[in-house]
Structure formats: C-alpha cells, structure tokens
C-alpha cells in the first residue's frame, strides 16, 4: 500500500512538473489582417522617423524563429476572420462566417478548453469588441459570426479567467430588448469593469474578470469603428492588466489580438495601419519583458489570421524607384486628427501619390508571417497551415 502511494506520488509529481516541451506561459498574438507588407510599412515608417531608408526593427521581427502560414478556408481561397480563428482554435477548416463549428455546423472543441482542463488559466484580449470574430472563436460556437448577442451569451460557459477589449457589439441584443451585456455577464459569474480604476478595485476579489474601456460603459460597439479617446487603455495596457490578474503561479495562455490593423486596412488607410501595427508591437514588447523574466518557461508566437487590403510598398507607376513618402502621409494623417475622414477616392489618391499600393478593400489569400521565441518556438518555423497551429501549441 505504502509502495503504491509513493508510486502515485512520483507519478503526480512527474505529470505535474513536467509538461515536456509545452511552455508554462503561452502568448499567441494575432495581428488581424497583418500581412508582410503591413509589417514592412511599420518598420519603414520607424526608419523614416530616424532619417534612414531602412533597418529599423519591431520587437517581434527580431524573434529568432520565423515561418509562413497559409490561411485559406474550407470554402474560399480567401478566408474571413471567423474561419481563420476557428482554424487556430480547433485545427479544422470551416466556412467563412462560421465560428467554432465545422462545415456541417457541428460545434468543435477549442484548444483553449483543453488547456483550461489541464490547469492553464486563460486570458482573451483584443483591441476591438470582445464578441468580434477572432476573440469569439476562442470561446463560442455559432454559424453566424455577426450574431453578437448570442455569442456574448456563450462567454460565461468558457469559465476563462480574463477577458479584455473594446466592449461588446449588440449590447442589448439586435432588437435592443435583451438584458444588457454587463448585467448578463455579472449574473453569470463575471466581474465586469470599465476602465483601469474599476479593474484595480474589482481584481482584488474577483476570480473571473472582464475589462472594457471606460468609454464603452453601457454602450454598443459598432463594426469597424475605430475609437481613440486619449483616456482609453491601449492594447499593451490591457495585456499588462491580464498578466497582472492571471499571475505567474499557475500556467497561463493569453491570446492578444490587434484587431484594428484589419479595420484600417479595409479602409486602405496606410497611416492607421502603421499606427495599429506599432501599438500591436508595443503589446508584444510587454510579453517579451515577461519572457525575459521567465525565459525557460515562456513561448511567444506572433502571426496573423489573413492579409487585408493587398498592401504593397511601391505603386505601379513608381516601379523601379518607388517614392514612399511617409512624411506626406503622416501630414494628412495628423490633419485628420488620426480619424479617417477621407473618402475612399481621396484616400486612394493619397496612397498612389505616395507610392503605396492597395489592391482591395477586402481580405486577400496571401500567406502571413509567423514570428516566435521561447520554449517550443522551433515548432513554428518553416511553412505550415493555420490548422496546424493548435497541435503545435499543445505539443508536449
Ligand atoms: Zn477583415
């Protein structure tokens, strides 16, 4: 009997301490719509600010491992965000518009649920609404990614410890007659906080928390609305709050999405894209600082769900010696007060005059980059498909 107990104890210690090659702390960054040129544009702009023609690096492009990821969905060569996020979370290709369900509409298990069952705390963070496609694929199952209220109602069942983002779309349901989102989530076990101050108060006693921007209080978020009130917490601040809340005692998985890279690219708004990529990189920097303190136990992956806009640096007419005039674009951007007040035609003209090419107002089928560092990062080098990501993340 005693022998058996010792054996059991050894087994428990072994399984408890050794997660093999799986990192204790996992960060998955998704730059929504962030293709190679979006990354190059941000770096080119950094160099321009330094008076150079190139050579500046974002935090994540300095990571030691890199690769490429194909993004096509079950029914289209060009994916939508919900099908791409479903590939990330379940390893299964599905139809554009589907969320966490297979092409026949059957719910799929998310790897985040598996990680939670094996003792990981889970944090889902985004710069756009928490019930938008990418974050939603980590906790919801729906045939219609735009049925926001039905998606919100699935959030509590996840039991994930931390959510943060720019509020919720369809705050009172599509018909505006449903119980408001704050009350619904609080009734179902979550402390909902608006702004940093409420978060500091509520995090002392809450075991599950949802952090929204102060400006989102009791309001519905619209699609593709980019808000930049100065008082808002940026993505790096949301991530910092998540790391603080989850702590480093237990293992955790954090997904952190730069959602407005895609929104700016849908508008072909070059400087908003640059700004969004730089703010996304600032959040990656926070994870990198965490990595430096927990080098042997941390994995950071930075990738995208698809490319948006068909962005190129160098427009047709300027081929040979493209004139990329960041100064001109920056001036227009500042004149607008960093809000897109330009109509499509004048925006297009501005891009063309400054050597920036866009082929579409939608997504493209281009492969996306993957950058990684830390424990297990070598699994993310080379060329693979977006459906390979969960197995790579869960590998022990
Ligand atoms: Zn999009």
Pairwise CA distance, residues 344 & 268, whole Å: 8
Q: Which residues surround ligand 1, an ion (CB under 5 A)?
A: 262
User: If you measure from the C-alpha of residue 361 to the centroid of ligand 1, how many angstroms do you get, rounded to a whole number?
Assistant: 9
User: If you measure from the C-alpha of residue 122 to the centroid of ligand 1, how many angstroms do you get, rounded to a whole number?
Assistant: 25
User: If you measure from the C-alpha of residue 369 to the centroid of ligand 1, how many angstroms do you get, rounded to a whole number?
Assistant: 17
pLDDT at 18: 45
Pairwise CA distance, residues 86 & 79, whole Å: 11
User: If you measure from the C-alpha of residue 8 to the centroid of ligand 1, how many angstroms do you get, rounded to a whole number?
Assistant: 51
pLDDT at 10: 47
Whether residue 1 is predicted with pLDDT greater than 90 in this model: the reply is no
Per DSSP, the three-state class of 211 is strand
- Whether pTM > 0.85 for this model: the answer is yes
* 40 burial level (CB within 10 Å; 0-12, 13-18, 19+): middle
Mean pLDDT throughout 123-140? 95
pLDDT at 314: 87
Q: What is the DSSP string of 43-70?
A: HHHHHHHTT-SS----TGGGSSEEEEEE
Whether residue 35 is predicted with pLDDT greater than 50 in this model: the reply is yes
In the block, which residue shows the tokens 């293992």?
251
pLDDT at 295: 96
User: If you measure from the C-alpha of residue 292 to the centroid of ligand 1, how many angstroms do you get, rounded to a whole number?
Assistant: 33
Contact 350, 342 (CB under 8 A): yes
Pairwise CA distance, residues 98 & 104, whole Å: 10
User: If you measure from the C-alpha of residue 259 to the centroid of ligand 1, how many angstroms do you get, rounded to a whole number?
Assistant: 9
Mean pLDDT throughout 186-206? 95
User: If you measure from the C-alpha of residue 267 to the centroid of ligand 1, how many angstroms do you get, rounded to a whole number?
Assistant: 10
Mean pLDDT of the chain: 89
Quote the longest CA-to-CA distance of the chain. 82
User: If you measure from the C-alpha of residue 32 to the centroid of ligand 1, how many angstroms do you get, rounded to a whole number?
Assistant: 7
pLDDT at 162: 98
User: If you measure from the C-alpha of residue 56 to the centroid of ligand 1, how many angstroms do you get, rounded to a whole number?
Assistant: 27
Task: Provide the token pair at 321.
Answer: 């010696």
User: If you measure from the C-alpha of residue 297 to the centroid of ligand 1, how many angstroms do you get, rounded to a whole number?
Assistant: 33
Q: How many CB atoms lie within 10 A of CB 211?
A: 27
C-alpha distance from residue 296 to each of 35, 60, 288, 292 (Å): 29, 18, 13, 9
- Percentage of residues in the chain with pLDDT exceeding 90? 74
- Percentage of residues in the chain with pLDDT exceeding 70? 89
Mean pLDDT throughout 134-144? 95
Contact 96, 229 (CB under 8 A): no
Count of helix runs (H) and strand runs (E) in the chain: 15, 14
Whether residue 307 is predicted with pLDDT greater than 50 in this model: the reply is yes
The larger pLDDT score, comparing residue 1 to residue 163, is at 163
User: If you measure from the C-alpha of residue 342 to the centroid of ligand 1, how many angstroms do you get, rounded to a whole number?
Assistant: 19
Whether residue 3 is predicted with pLDDT greater than 70 in this model: the reply is no
> Of the given ranges (35-49, 60-74, 148-162, 227-241), which has the lowest mean pLDDT?
227-241
Chain segment 229-280, per-residue pLDDT in tens: 444 799 999 999 999 999 999 999 999 999 999 999 999 999 999 999 999 9
215: pLDDT confidence band, cut at 50, 70 and 90? confident
Mean pLDDT throughout 197-212? 95
- H or E segment at 115? helix 111-117
User: Domains of the chain (ranges plus CATH)?
Assistant: 21-165+251-311+358-394 (3.40.720.10)
Whether residue 11 is predicted with pLDDT greater than 60 in this model: the reply is no
pLDDT at 343: 72
User: If you measure from the C-alpha of residue 88 to the centroid of ligand 1, how many angstroms do you get, rounded to a whole number?
Assistant: 16
Per DSSP, the three-state class of 35 is coil
In degrees to the nearest 10, what's the CA dihedral of 134, 138, 142, 143? 50
- Distant-in-sequence, close-in-space partners of 201: CB < 8 Å, separation ≥ 6: 193
User: If you measure from the C-alpha of residue 358 to the centroid of ligand 1, how many angstroms do you get, rounded to a whole number?
Assistant: 14
Separation of CA 279 from chain center? 12
Mean pLDDT throughout 217-238? 67
pLDDT at 31: 97
C-alpha distance from residue 49 to each of 40, 69, 311 (Å): 14, 31, 21
Whether residue 340 is predicted with pLDDT greater than 90 in this model: the reply is no
Q: What's the half-sphere exposure (Cβ side, CA atoms, 13 Å) at 251?
A: 21
């Amino acid at each position: 009997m005693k022998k058996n107990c010792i054996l059991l104890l050894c087994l428990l210690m072994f399984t408890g301490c050794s997660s093999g090659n799986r990192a204790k702390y996992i960060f998955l960054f998704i730059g929504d719509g962030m293709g190679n040129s979006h990354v190059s544009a941000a770096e080119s702009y950094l160099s321009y600010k330094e008076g150079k023609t190139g050579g500046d690096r974002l935090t994540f492009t300095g990571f030691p491992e890199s690769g490429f990821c194909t993004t096509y969905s079950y029914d289209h060569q060009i994916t939508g965000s919900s099908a791409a996020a479903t590939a990330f979370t379940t390893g299964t290709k599905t139809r554009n518009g589907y969320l966490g369900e297979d092409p026949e509409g059957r719910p799929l298990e998310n790897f985040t649920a598996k990680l939670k069952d094996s003792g990981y705390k889970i944090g889902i963070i985004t710069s756009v609404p928490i019930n938008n496609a990418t974050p939603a694929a980590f906790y919801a199952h729906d045939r219609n990614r735009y049925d926001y209220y039905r998606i919100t109602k699935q959030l509590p069942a996840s039991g994930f410890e931390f959510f943060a983002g720019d509020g919720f779309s369809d705050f009172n349901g599509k018909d505006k007659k449903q119980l408001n989102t704050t009350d619904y989530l609080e009734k179902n076990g979550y402390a909902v906080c608006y702004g940093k101050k409420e978060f500091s108060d509520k995090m002392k006693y809450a075991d599950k928390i949802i952090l929204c921007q102060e400006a989102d209080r009791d309001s519905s978020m619209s699609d593709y609305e980019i808000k930049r009130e100065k008082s808002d917490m940026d993505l790096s601040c949301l991530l910092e709050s998540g790391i603080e809340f989850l702590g480093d005692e237990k293992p955790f998985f954090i997904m952190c999405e730069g959602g407005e890279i895609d929104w700016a690219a849908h508008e072909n708004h070059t400087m908003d894209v640059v700004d969004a990529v730089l703010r996304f990189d600032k959040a990656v920097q926070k994870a990198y600082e965490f990595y430096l303190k927990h080098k042997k136990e941390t994995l950071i992956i930075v990738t995208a769900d698809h490319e948006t806009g068909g962005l190129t640096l160098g427009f047709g007419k300027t081929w040979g010696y493209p004139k990329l005039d960041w100064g001109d674009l920056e001036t227009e951007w500042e004149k607008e007060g960093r809000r897109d007040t330009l109509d499509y035609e004048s925006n297009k003209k501005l891009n063309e005059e400054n050597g920036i090419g866009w082929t579409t107002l939608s997504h493209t089928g281009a492969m996306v980059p993957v950058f990684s560092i830390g424990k297990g990062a070598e699994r993310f080098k080379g060329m693979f498909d977006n459906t390979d990501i969960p197995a790579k993340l869960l590998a022990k």
